[in-house]
Amino acid sequence: MKILVFIKQVPDTAAPLFVKDNQIDASKIDKYAASPYDEYALEQALQIKDKDASTKITLVTMGPTRVRETIMQGLAMGADDALIIKADDASEMDGLAVAHVLAAAAKKIGYDLIFTGIKGVDDDQGWVGIALGELLGLPSVSGARSTQLQGTTARVTRDVEGGKETLEVALPALITSSQATEPRYPTLKGIMSAKKKQVLEWDVPSLGVDSSIMQPRVQMVKLDMPPARQSGRLLQGEPQAQVKELVRLLREQAKVI
């Protein structure tokens, strides 16, 4: 069983960001990490490997030099090897261009199953995962919360409007992960062994994607901080009086009830 996990490195999602000259101020980013949904995706792949040790997990990412650190983390968690597609300008590519590059790489290395996050917590487009599945002609399932393999069939459980469902899909397939089991921490042994694992480096031109595809179809022209909310008023008095006043304000001032 050969699993590819596509990972994107993003600024730490627990920290605030600052905008300077229509860009995220990189000097104020303390650390980068795998996008949270990609970590959940990796954890789902690792759980498959837990059950079948012959499973081979390859991490694939694209980005500047700093992505290596995130890849090493994933290898320390238990992935077998990795491919870095070097691209300093990856953030200027649109989702379709990224998907074409990743699809070309996937075809070269081969796979039975592909995992990625449902979206990257940076541009939040949610474009690449599904596009990758379409370009490779794979059936895809979005928003997996757990995945089990039975032979060459994947059983995927996910949340849907009004409940949950379990789907079966025949491999090869692509699965995008929602919030799932909390990703494991690397062990000391994992960290040591990661250093010996193979990390290939390719560049974008070697993947031969048509230049018309690489032209972005959509471009970010402006970036701002979100409008700050004014903090409002604290209500005074005994609980009963506070509640009465709140209801009056919601009705008469805010007009929302």
Partner 1 sequence: MSNNILVVAEQADGKFKSITHQLLGEASRVAQQMGGIVEAVVMGQGVKDSASQLGAFGARKVYVADDAALARFDGSVYAPTLIELVKRIQPKMVFLGATPLGLALAPRLATHLQSALTSDITGFAVSDGSVRVTRPVYAGRAMAVYEPKTFPLIATLRQNAFAPATSGDGAQCDIETLAVTATQPKTKVVETSKSASGKVELNEAPVVVSGGRGLQGPENFHLVEELASALGGAAGATRAVVDAGWRPYAEQVGQTGKTVSPTLYVAAGVSGAMQHLVGMKTSKVIVAINKDPDAPIFKVADYGIVGDALKILPLLTDEIRKLKEQG
Residues 201-230, interacting with partner 1 (CB under 8 A): 213, 215-227, 229
Check: CB of residue 38 under 8 Å from CB of residue 178. Answer: no
Q: Does 51 bind partner 1 (CB under 8 A)?
A: no
Q: List the interface residues with partner 1, window 17-36 (CB under 8 A).
A: 17, 19, 24, 36
CA distance 75 to 61: 12
Asked whether position 11 contacts partner 1 by CB under 8 A, the answer is yes
Q: Which is nearer to partner 1, 189 or 255 (CB)?
A: 255
According to DSSP, the residues that pair with 112 across neighbouring strands are none
List the one residue from 51, 164, 189, 196 that touches partner 1 (CB under 8 A): 164
Position among 160, 188, 211, 252 found at the interface with partner 1 (CB under 8 A)? 160
CB of residue 181 to partner 1, shortest distance in Å: 11
Q: Residue 48 and residue 180: Cα distance in Å, rounded?
A: 14
Q: Which of 15, 26, 192, 200 touches partner 1 (CB under 8 A)?
A: 15
* Dist CA 225 CA 123 (whole Å): 14
Q: In sequence order, what are the residues at sequence separation of 6 or more whose Cβ sits closer than 8 angstroms to the Cβ of residue 50?
A: none
Question: CB 51 → partner 1: shortest distance, Å?
Answer: 19
Interaction residues for partner 1, span 84-103 (CB under 8 A):
94-96, 99
Q: Are 11 and 211 in contact (CB under 8 A)?
A: no
Please tell me whether residue 82 adopts helix, strand or coil conformation. strand
Site string for partner 1, 104-143 (x = CB under 8 A): ---------------x-xxxxxxx-xxx--xx---xxxxx
Name the minimum Å distance from CB 189 to partner 1: 27
Rounded to whole angstroms, how far apart are CA atoms 246 and 197? 60
Any idea which residue has 């009056």 for tokens? 248
CB of 119: closest distance to partner 1 in angstroms?
8
Residue 73 Cα distances to 28, 49, 60, angstroms: 22, 17, 13
Binding to partner 1 in span 171-200, by CB under 8 A: 173, 178-179, 182
Q: Which is nearer to partner 1, 178 or 193 (CB)?
A: 178
Pair of tokens at residue 150: 């039975």
What is each CA distance from 20 to 14, 121, 175, 225, in whole angstroms?
A: 19, 19, 36, 9
| Interacting residue with partner 1 among 27, 54, 211, 231 (CB under 8 A) | 231
Number of residues that bind partner 1 (CB under 8 A): 85
